[in-house]
């Protein structure tokens, strides 16, 4: 989009559009998370995806930076709602012994889409194939069209049986349980949000730390990946997609291959290990980058190794907040910690790194990478101290439903 004769975005503006997207994700998670608990998972599957499709299509029509940033904000709102609806339903529909690996695999499947997008840009952004102001618009248009296909697929998804049970619809729940399993509900935000922190202060602190650390780590690097390759390694825009392929594959296979260990070896050791390895490996990569020891290929290789573990770590953050709180507030908990974590660690990261990249100083960017590494190491330590043993346990054993506990009962860990 820097080459677009209409937009002509700077590095800082590209970072700012990513920050706008993340700000939208924060507000979308809050708003749609509340609606998910109140009106059910299935309805919101269509609403959030509809918002995403409309905003993505509108992004393809943007004529200036302000309008483009606005539509990216709305796209983020749809994605924030998606995270909430999908992760809450996922926990309630998957058998206990497979919950960890399934959660990580599904969250990691995001990178299959990133892989397809990366390959697509090698064609759409190739000079001479399309005018500079057309290729990127086609990419957004294709993304919106693919979303329409997903809408059709979602028609066959069931409502959460737990949500139906708590909302007085046991016959419908029984019919669904005959084909799958699980349950949930929703209610008022202020009282139940306060309940998360009052009854589960340690879990709330852990969820916030894990989400904020991975948000900074991921959003800082992923949203500025192409800028680093272009500014410091002279990779042309149409070739960036080639370098994204191994990165995307690593992000997909990390949760897929490591996910089983989260169910067998345990949540606490695996979450701490993946966070710690991510931090240590990024720290080492930062040193090599600052000293000019990397090429475009070796930089990509280093990030590929880092994010093999970081993708599993990030997925485990969603796993932690989605299974650590009572069923009545599960969607709200996911929305709350996703939003707070992204607000604290993620929104400013792309803008910050975009500005650092704009200086052309590798040392400045190295300090940014070091900050991301330090946050991941801190999160690893927090997991060892505050982590919840949730593997192979029913959700009701991990967190007793609010309806089974007196308001004054001190259940907390």
Q: What CATH number should be reported for the domain holding residue 276?
A: 1.20.1250.20
Of the listed ranges 42-56, 146-160, 295-309, the one predicted with least confidence: 146-160
Give me the pLDDT at residue 403, please: 61
**pLDDT higher than 70, residue 17:** yes
Of 379, 399, 341, the residue nearest 80 (C-alpha): 341
How many angstroms separate the CA atoms of 104 and 273, rounded?
A: 15
Domain containing residue 387: 11-404
> Rounded to a whole number, what is the largest CA-CA distance in the chain?
68
The pLDDT assigned to 53 comes to 93
**Alpha-carbon distance 332 to 83, whole Å?**
11
Who wins on pLDDT, 253 or 114? 253
Nearest-5° Cα angle at 232, 254 to 123? 65
- What is the average pLDDT across 66-84? 90
Residue 409 resides in a domain: no
Which pLDDT tens digit goes with each residue over 148-162? 888 777 776 767 676
- The verdict on residue 80 lying in a domain is yes
410 within a domain of the structure (yes/no): no
* Highest mean pLDDT: which range of 89-103, 229-243, 324-338: 229-243
- Bigger pLDDT: 195 vs 81: 81
Q: What is the pLDDT of residue 190?
A: 53
Q: Is residue 2 part of a domain?
A: no
Give pTM, 2 decimals.
0.64
Q: Could you tell me which residue, 174 or 279, shows the higher pLDDT? A: 279
Three-state secondary-structure class, residue 167: coil
Answer yes or no: is pLDDT of 269 > 70.
yes
Q: Which of 263, 235, 275, 310 is nearest to 381 (CA)?
A: 275
- How many domains does one find in the chain? 1
Tens of pLDDT, residue by residue over 337-388, are 888 888 887 778 888 888 888 888 999 999 999 999 999 999 999 999 999 8
Instruction: Report yes or no on 281 lying in a domain.
Output: yes
Asked whether the beta carbons of 80 and 32 are under 8 A apart, the reply is yes
Q: Which of 267, 278, 293 is nearest to 220 (CA)?
A: 278
pLDDT digits (tens, 9 = 90+) for 83-92: 777 777 666 6
d(CA 46, CA 131) in angstroms, rounded, equals 34
The verdict on residue 5 lying in a domain is no
pLDDT attached to residue 166: 64
Judge whether 413 lies within some domain.
Answer: no
Q: Is residue 74 part of a domain?
A: yes
Q: What b-and-e string marks burial along 337-375, b requiring 16 or more CB atoms within 10 Å of the CB?
A: bbbbbbbbbbbbbbbbbbbbbbeeebeebbebbbbbbeb
Query: In residues, how long is the chain?
Result: 413
């Amino acid at each position: 989009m820097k080459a677009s004769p209409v937009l002509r975005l700077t590095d800082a503006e590209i970072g700012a559009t990513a920050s706008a997207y993340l700000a939208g994700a924060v507000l979308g998670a809050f708003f749609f998370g509340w609606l998910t608990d109140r009106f059910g998972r299935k309805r919101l599957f269509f609403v959030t995806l509809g918002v995403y499709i409309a905003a993505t299509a509108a992004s393809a029509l943007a004529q200036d930076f302000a309008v483009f940033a606005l539509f990216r904000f709305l796209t983020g709102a749809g994605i924030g709602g998606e995270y909430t609806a999908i992760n809450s339903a996922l926990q309630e529909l998957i058998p206990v012994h497979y919950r960890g690996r399934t959660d990580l695999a599904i969250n990691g499947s995001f990178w299959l889409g990133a892989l397809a997008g990366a390959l697509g840009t090698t064609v759409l952004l190739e000079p001479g194939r399309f005018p500079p102001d057309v290729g990127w618009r086609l990419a957004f248009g294709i993304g919106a069209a693919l979303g329409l296909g997903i809408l059709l697929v979602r028609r066959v998804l069931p409502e959460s049986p737990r949500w139906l049970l708590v909302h007085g619809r046991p016959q419908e729940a029984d019919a669904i349980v005959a084909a799958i399993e699980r349950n949930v509900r929703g209610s008022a935000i202020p009282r139940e949000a306060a309940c998360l922190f009052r009854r589960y202060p340690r879990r709330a602190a852990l969820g916030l730390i894990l989400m904020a650390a991975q948000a900074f780590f991921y959003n800082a690097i992923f949203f500025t990946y192409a800028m680093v390759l272009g500014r410091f390694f002279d990779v042309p825009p149409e070739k960036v997609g080639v370098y994204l392929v191994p990165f995307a594959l690593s992000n997909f296979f990390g949760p897929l291959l490591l996910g089983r260990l989260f169910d067998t070896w345990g949540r606490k050791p695996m979450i701490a290990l993946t966070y710690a390895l991510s931090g240590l490996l990024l720290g080492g990569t930062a040193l090599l980058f600052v000293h000019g020891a990397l090429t475009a290929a070796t930089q990509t290789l280093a990030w590929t190794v880092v994010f093999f573990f970081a993708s599993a770590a990030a997925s485990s953050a969603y796993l932690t907040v989605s299974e650590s709180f009572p069923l009545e507030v599960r969607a709200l908990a996911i929305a709350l910690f996703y939003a707070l974590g992204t607000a604290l660690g993620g929104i400013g990261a792309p803008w910050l790194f975009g500005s650092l990249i704009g200086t052309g100083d590798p040392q400045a960017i190295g300090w940014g990478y070091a900050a991301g590494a330090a946050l991941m190491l801190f999160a690893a330590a927090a997991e060892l101290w505050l982590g919840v043993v949730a593997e192979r346990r029913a959700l009701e054993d991990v967190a007793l439903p609010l309806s089974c506990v007196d308001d004054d009962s001190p259940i907390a860990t």
